[in-house]
Structure 1
Amino acid sequence: MKATIVLLPGDGIGPEVTASALAVLRIIAETFAHDFMFVEHLIGGAAIDATGLPLPETTRAACLSADAVLLGAVGGPRWSDPNARPEQGLLQLRAALGVFANLRPVHVHPRTAALSPVKADRLVGVDLLFVRELTGGSYFGRRSRDADSASDECRYTVVEIERVLRRAFELARARRGRVTSIDKANVLETSRLWRETAIRVAADYPDVTLEHQLVDSMAMLMLSQPARYDVLVTENLFGDILTDEAAVLAGSLGLLPSASLGEGRRGLYEPIHGSAPDIAGKGSANPIGSILSAALLLRHSLGLANEAAAIERAVHTVLDTRELTRDLGGNANTHDITDAIVATLTRHAAARAA
């Protein structure tokens, strides 16, 4: 397969973890005889420093012509101008790509489960997939502020709600057939519209079970009964908060990937962690979230499920057998983990060839 992948290393530890994901994608291309072309561009604070804009037009155009986009991280205390913040580049890119569903899988590896504050017996069998709506809600509503008050409008349309719900139901069909829709329908009008739409959409998926949970009770249940759930779908702000909470189950933010998808196959892929400027340049960042994001890229944008699974198996093997990074209580550095995953992929490929 031929594919063009745009790399947006960004800020902080973004370049370090993106380099790790690139090394893994190169091995995949070599092992499975694919022709991947990688093109690097600026975004976020790095783009502001170079061009004054968080999303330069050259970056935007490259992403729109690519098959997929792999992002590192954006942001940091260096960039405090409210008119040119690094995060604006990410929001603008999501809008340009038309992505509306953010997928965040959460798997709990037996070795890293010990690092979670949640009791180990509650983590057995945890395999969650969050589907977070990306284009609506209070992040994109009208805002106002004066000396004595401020407001952020939370607005949703039926179209925005329905399309992300349908994506969640389709994904659940390929998993365990359960969708939990998370809202605050006892208080918010947008949540009442969300719940009504979920009930209507569910009628088209009789093979999938729909459950509703209020966001506050879901925050509790996710820690007390996480193995109960399969696909969880919710609005933008709730999803942002709950997926960071879910990282507690896995043991570290550094382990978790994400995919932002629209109607077509092109997607935006990134680890869920931030730019972590306090450890940037020290070589201690955990690259696994970025490497697993590359696996999601292969699966969802390029249709290469076997290649994605090969990366996921290699990560699992390394978590089983190797020294862990500092966020997981070990002393391994970024290169150690990357090299171990690359070596595992190479070894598995050799075993298949034999």
Structure 2
Amino acid sequence: MKILLLAGDGIGPEIMAEAEKVLMALNLPVTLDRGLVGGVAYAATGHPLPPETVEKARASDAVLFGAVGDFRYDHVERHLRPEQAILGIRTALGLFANLRPAQVFSGLEEHSALRPEVAAAIDLLIVRELNGDVYFGDKGMRQTADGQREGYDVMSYSENEVRRIAHVAFRAAQGRQKRLCSVDKANVLETSQLWRDVMIEVSAEYPDVELTHMYVDNAAMQLVRNPGQFDVIVTGNLFGDILSDQASMCVGSIGLLASASLGEGKLGLYEPIHGSAPDIAGKGIANPLAMILSLAMLLRHSGGDEASAARIEAAVAKVLASGARGADLGGDMSTSALGDAVVAAL
């Protein structure tokens, strides 16, 4: 298996080193390659996503991605900012489905913003569409008839875009508790009405999965009130961006959540959901567990290696259950010490 490592900016290189440490401890038949992305790529090549990086990614079986973002480049044109690299590589690789699991690890219930007994019930998966919606629709600035500035962003989905993410979500639900909640805003948006209609059509192909619907504002409330009711949530790009970050705080720390971005084939991109955290970069206090759990998702979805993925997840759970904590969870273990602890638990 050929894996491309894209460490990126900020804490990216630090947490990537710990994931690589865990991967080497598994002694799997893999070949590693590396590339530049984000601010470091802009500094070296003048673009946050150089063609060479895209070529390396397309030639790989999977991409393990750290983080991008560097305030030193906030002044450059938007399409050249480091954060644009992640949107660009998803598009270049045809990745349209983002999977974000959220589960409270035993012993971390008190770290959730929710009551411990509510947080303990969280075990859900958010499936977010990645290539459509307002992020990729027509956008710009214009002037109204009376001379005012007006910004606009067009939200749109074709039925084929909805249909392909629906299949991903239904298949994911089949592998879990067979419950799928589709989140939209069909009472206001025509885009959401199409979304709901197509979800219902596709559900006929999955009679073993229970499909329900929920408006996004209610879903946001229910994630706080009773998150245990959810198994798999499927939603569009904008709503999914917001709800998945909300779910991360429900489980106690954004440093614990991994994600997978998938397309039609086995090639996928795997990354922690947190950012580059430039304020703590180089201090050795970043939590590497989300990066390590992203590696587990890589081995499961692109490598077809469920056994190794489960070993990593069990090792992380064991480390946390032992009381090991980084700074984000009120502890004093360093980035490297947490990585070492996971290796020892393997």
Range of TM-score over shorter length: over 0.9
Structure 1 position 241, deviation (Å): 0.4
- SS class of match (1:284): coil
CA displacement 1:248-297 (0-9 Å, x = unmatched): 12100000000000010010000000000000000000000000000000
What is the TM-score of this pair, normalised by structure 1?
Answer: 0.94
Q: How does 1:35-46 map to 2 (within 5 A)?
A: 35-46=29-40
Q: How does 1:162-311 map to 2 (within 5 A)?
A: 162-311=163-312
Q: Which amino acid aligns with 2:98?
A: N
- Write the distance in 2 (CA, Å) between the matches of 1:310 and 1:177: 24
CA displacement 1:32-52 (0-9 Å, x = unmatched): xx3211111000111000000
- Write the distance in 2 (CA, Å) between the matches of 1:246 and 1:65: 33
Deviates more, 1:114-123 or 1:133-142: 114-123
What is the TM-score of this pair, normalised by structure 2?
Answer: 0.97
Partner in structure 1 of residue 81 of structure 2: 85
Q: Which runs of 5+ in 2 are unaligned?
A: 143-147
Q: Which runs of 5+ in 1 are unaligned?
A: 346-354
- SS class of match (2:71): coil
2:14 aligned with 1:6, yes or no?
A: no
Deviates more, 1:12-21 or 1:115-124: 115-124
Partner in structure 2 of residue 126 of structure 1: 122
Q: How does 1:66-145 map to 2 (within 5 A)?
A: 66-80=60-74, 81=76, 82-145=78-141
- Write the distance in 1 (CA, Å) between the matches of 2:192 and 2:150: 24
Partner in structure 2 of residue 352 of structure 1: none
2:10 aligned with 1:48, yes or no?
A: no
Structure 1 position 110, deviation (Å): 2.5
Q: Which amino acid aligns with 1:208?
A: V
- SS class of match (2:108): helix
- SS class of match (1:156): coil
8 Å contact 2:7–2:65 — kept in the other structure? yes
> Which segments of structure 1 move beyond 3 Å, counting only runs of 4 or more?
none
Deviates more, 1:304-313 or 1:118-127: 118-127
8 Å contact 1:72–1:270 — kept in the other structure? yes
Partner in structure 2 of residue 350 of structure 1: none
- Write the distance in 2 (CA, Å) between the matches of 1:122 and 1:251: 12
- Structure 1 residues 138 and 313, CA gap change in structure 2 (3 angstroms): same
